[in-house]
Chain A
């Protein structure tokens, strides 16, 4: 999987400070433009397919932009709110474990896709981990898009056969007496891990609890920790 360091608009790179070839011949400084390099073959394909399908009225000209807004609105902060609510509200927790999608929808998180959500509760006896061995299925309505490592070969191949070793690479060591349960997602069924509430958080309110819950904890590769604890 290719990574693009510095592509997140970090502003650290002056536009003409690098030494690769330019296909234009002026050398005055200018603000970075939206498309500094020629679009790739695949980018051209994306634009061409989208435009052809819009021309053929298979979907509206505004639908891609609107869906990008939906994608941008989904982040692990939503999942964190769900987890915090489950920690403070036993009836919500029960409902969440019974039917993840319905509970999330009642909580105000819409599901824009046609997927079921199964919430897996970590306990003193069971640690859950989620993966999609065949592809990259993920609970996107509540967590947003998956990280690259989740989509990459090594995690997909190994999570189901040696989960404890995989967890150890994330710095997570599960005691032998705790069962590690790995759930393999499909196009139709997605999973979300409900992590254990960390000790020493009895006085935290729901918002403070939510701020502790990270994406990786809801994938199951790390536990939820309080700020005081070290990894």
Chain B
């Protein structure tokens, strides 16, 4: 089988049966934002905005490089953004503006906390 044919037959998520290294017995407590991201996935599913299979395909659509380099919940949140754009629920520019706003707000809060000697 040619290399390119392989790429068509196996999308990035389809790794069952491939060779791989030793199982790394790792685990970690979710970071607060990761847990919020997981809860967001459930709430999006409850409201029939994005279901589990759409999320899985959204992660797959990120392509091999992003799937390989982003962490688990990083993949989820980027997939959600893309799906929400595709469904025209959000527009990229709205998200960009909101992210700037959130960043500024969190910086201001951190500065206030520092001034208060916390």
The residues of A with any CB-CB pair to B shorter than 8 Å are 1-5, 7-9, 24, 26, 28, 30-31, 33-35, 38-53, 56, 58-59, 63-65, 67-68, 70-71, 112-114, 131, 133-137, 145, 147-149, 151-161, 166, 169-170, 184, 187-188
Contacts and interface: CB of A to CB of B under 8 A. Distances in A.
B17 A161 contact: yes
A70 B45 CA distance: 15
Interface of B: 13-33, 35-40, 42-47, 49, 51-53, 56, 59, 70-74, 77-78, 80-81, 84, 89-90, 94-95, 98-99, 101-103, 106-107, 110, 113-114, 117-118
B36 A64 contact: yes
**Majority-rule SS of B interface residues:** helix
26 contacts: A5-B28, A7-B28, A30-B117, A35-B110, A38-B106, A38-B107, A39-B33, A40-B33, A42-B74, A45-B77, A49-B80, A52-B94, A53-B49, A63-B43, A65-B39, A67-B39, A68-B39, A114-B51, A134-B16, A136-B72, A147-B26, A154-B21, A157-B19, A158-B23, A170-B25, A187-B56
Contact of A145 (B38, B59, B78): B38
